[in-house]
Amino acid sequence: MLTMKHINKTFYLNSPDRRTILKNFSLSLKEGEFISVIGSNGAGKSTLFNLIAGSILPDSGKITLDNKDITFLSEHKRAVWIGRIFQDPSKGTAPNLTVEENLAIAYMRSKKSHLLKGITKKDKAFLRERISCLGMGLENRMNTKIGLLSGGQRQAVTLTMATLVKPKLLLLDEHTAALDPVTAEKITELTQSIVSSEHITTMMITHNLTTAIKTGSRLLMMDEGKIAVDIKGEEHSKLTVSNLLERFSQNTKKNLNSDRMLLQYD
């Protein structure tokens, strides 16, 4: 459903500081895949998401989504199909608007309805129902300003907003990294349950090796702008931290421990 072919991206192209981040990068995603993306700081993971979402454009190469060439399509146009959640819980929601108002805006935007029409009673019931699926009691706080919620509650609402209308592709860029470990685990579980019940094709960047292995149906490990390890299918279901690190060393001829990669085990 998503293909990236021979993508090259260099920052500061015409300056002495030029930095090639992705070189001849290719990737193909199948409908319904849930891919965990892991790799050291600076490996190019967020750059990959920026290219997919259209926040930056490649120097060369081609990106397609459901066979449509989106390589140079604006970020705004792609946002209709691509949902994105960031690390910072305050991104993506308006702090001074209530839970219900934030949801209504996301809902109207994704339905392409005009905001001025407002939301109907039926819409309100739908939004409340979706929020109650989170199992956090937030359906009783629909009139609370989002800025008053905890980081975990906010990420849960953001997750609901991004999936109210099913996106073709959901990009999660370390969306649990700013949360305490227990809350992070809860948001990862919610992510898994929403993604699997709605069959959403998803890419999730994480720093946590154990989370990366446990979550999803495929694992990509990036290193210096390249895919160092790509594991799916039966091999994925048997994966452990030690054989993942072993595969990484085999493929990159580098020795690696989780400290050096700034990765965490549980």
Given the rule CB under 6 A, which residues bind ligand ADP?
A: 11, 21, 39, 41-47
| Encoded tokens for 98 | 């209530």
Q: Which residues here bind Mg ion, judged by CB under 5 A?
A: 45-46
Considering the complex, what minimum distance in angstroms separates the CB of residue 11 from Mg ion?
Answer: 14
Whether residue 85 contacts residue 172, with contact meaning beta carbons closer than 8 Å, is answered with yes
Provide the pairing of β-strand 218-223 with 201-205: unpaired
Q: From the list ligand ADP, Mg ion, none, which binds 216 (C-beta under 5 to 8 Å, kind-based)?
A: none
Q: From the list Mg ion, ligand ADP, none, which binds 72 (C-beta under 5 to 8 Å, kind-based)?
A: none
Closer to ligand ADP by Cβ: residue 42 or 151: 42
Q: How far is CA 70 from CA 77, 157, 202, 228, 262, in A?
A: 9, 28, 18, 26, 33
Considering the complex, what minimum distance in angstroms separates the CB of residue 168 from ligand ADP?
Answer: 22
Which residues, in sequence order, are bridge partners of residue 63?
A: 4
Closer to Mg ion by Cβ: residue 73 or 177: 177
Q: From the list Mg ion, ligand ADP, none, which binds 21 (C-beta under 5 to 8 Å, kind-based)?
A: ligand ADP
Considering the complex, what minimum distance in angstroms separates the CB of residue 111 from ligand ADP?
Answer: 32
Considering the complex, what minimum distance in angstroms separates the CB of residue 118 from Mg ion?
Answer: 38
Considering the complex, what minimum distance in angstroms separates the CB of residue 103 from Mg ion?
Answer: 27
Closer to Mg ion by Cβ: residue 206 or 215: 206
Closer to ligand ADP by Cβ: residue 13 or 94: 13
